[in-house]
Chains A and B, each alone.
Chain A
Amino acid sequence: MSEFEQIPFGASEFADNPEPRCPCLLLLDTSESMEGGPINELNQGLATFRRELANDPLAMKRVEIGLVTFGPVQLVNDFQTPDQFAPPLLKGRGDTPMGAAIAGGLEMVRQRKQAYKANGIPYYRPWIFMITDGAPTDDWQEAAAQVRDGEDQKGFSFFAVGVQHADMDILKQIAVRTPLRLSGLKFHDLFLWLSSSLSSVSRSGVGQEVPLLPPGWARV
């Protein structure tokens, strides 16, 4: 090692844990209409998510959770392994600036990948998981174009989930993958599925296609 080796910021966490990373960004709608039942279920779902991942020691080292809420857009949690992730208590208020949330989220993913590359950390294709119960109240066209580009270049996988009265037509225009509608308020089932899917991905080889379980929480 050269005496004056440059150590970039962030090298510590990768020196501490050099396992390949499987980043998962949650984009969660916290607009006013989510207040009450939906937000409570969502909060419990997040706790379930953390608890389930904790059962899988390999996932605890490989999965990284990022969390951005919108209404207003807030970075709640930058990418961290689940042991560092404290499930927040979200509140529903504000409008639905989905476009800004997606733009910010995609930038986070881009920067995280840069950090992986700079530190020689292998990574799986990032997952972006957006949950909303409404329609964007801001400009979302640009964000939608970015999502399409990213999916085309296999830069990430973008999943959209509509809750209750979500505008599925707009979600279809944003996500390349068919958006799914949450059956009732089955956030618990959704996060169980998400954690077990991430567990399977993190156990697979980087770049391998992993068959996912059917999402039992979605309705057609």
Chain B
Amino acid sequence: MSAPVAPSVDRAGHPHGRMPRGRDAVEAAAVVALVARARRRPLRRVRLVIAGLVVATGAVVLARVLLGEYTVTLVDFVHILRGETIEAAPGASFIVMEAKLPRALIGALAGAAFGAAGAMFQTTLRNPLASPDIIGISLGASAAAVVALTFFDAQGFVVPLAALAGALAVSLVMYLVARGTSFAGQRMVLVGIGIAALLASVIQFVMTRTSIQDAQAALVWLTGSLNRASWPLIGLLALGIAVLVPALAVNVRRMRLAELGDELSTTLGSPASGARLGLLLAVALSAFATAATGPISFVAFLAGPISRRLTGGRPSLWAAALVGAVIVVASDYLGDYLIPDVNLPVGVVTGALGAPLMLAVVISAGRHGKA
């Protein structure tokens, strides 16, 4: 086989080889345009994915409100939202506004918070096992809530407030520990593991010392459920998200650099403190979500990998948050109606269905040679 020696010059029939310089310039411009397009393409894909996820989140929330044992038509729902009473079914307003809508909204908000927090942890610490759960945030919330439920017979809004206080107390301890040490992420996680173990033992102690009725109530809390959805709780969660998510988004640029590793990202101008701040924001975000719903297993863990598969490997906080929202709302719906006459807490469903999903991610990632 002879090597293709002849460049375009010959085919074009220009013997002196002067003219093609203009052609080269054209080709160079084309190449530049190609590269620019190639750079934009993943970004466009991320935007498309986010748009699609927004639609999906809206769809599951709407489905959660309209469908189920008590169905509401879209027209009636709009009327109810406007504050009008449906003459044919006067009770509809109450059911939608006090039960179905709060439940759907709190599921979406908590799911988004868990998803964003989990994705932040996984990318910053570069560890697929890392999530706010593993360093004791959800356990801080759980221990406080369980103690409040059992020893103080707390009810209503006190339980989520206690949980929030517990989770934030844990974050404060983490911050104090991580402050001013090198490899802060690593140390912070290790200390977090220790704190998590301590809190887990507090929960176990309470579970064995309390009455079986209280233990049952505590278990439902520990599993994570949307049963306590109410407008004040939604307000609390929304407030937390409104403050923390924009701050996290600002941190995302640093997050992308942090994936290169502590030393390298410091060289590139993204100080490790940025990553640490990101972690603390994620911790606080997950604290609010856990306070509202209890620890819903697997959402923080799952949302990151799923959203990355959708965006073609680019980490996107927004995509992860939306995936989390879809997961929680859809799982809650399934938990209500999957088995007749049994209302499973949403945490059972996310774990039971999330596990196979996660496995599918693991295995299919392997097929593409990524894991």
Partners in one complex: no
Residues of A within 8 A of B (CB): none
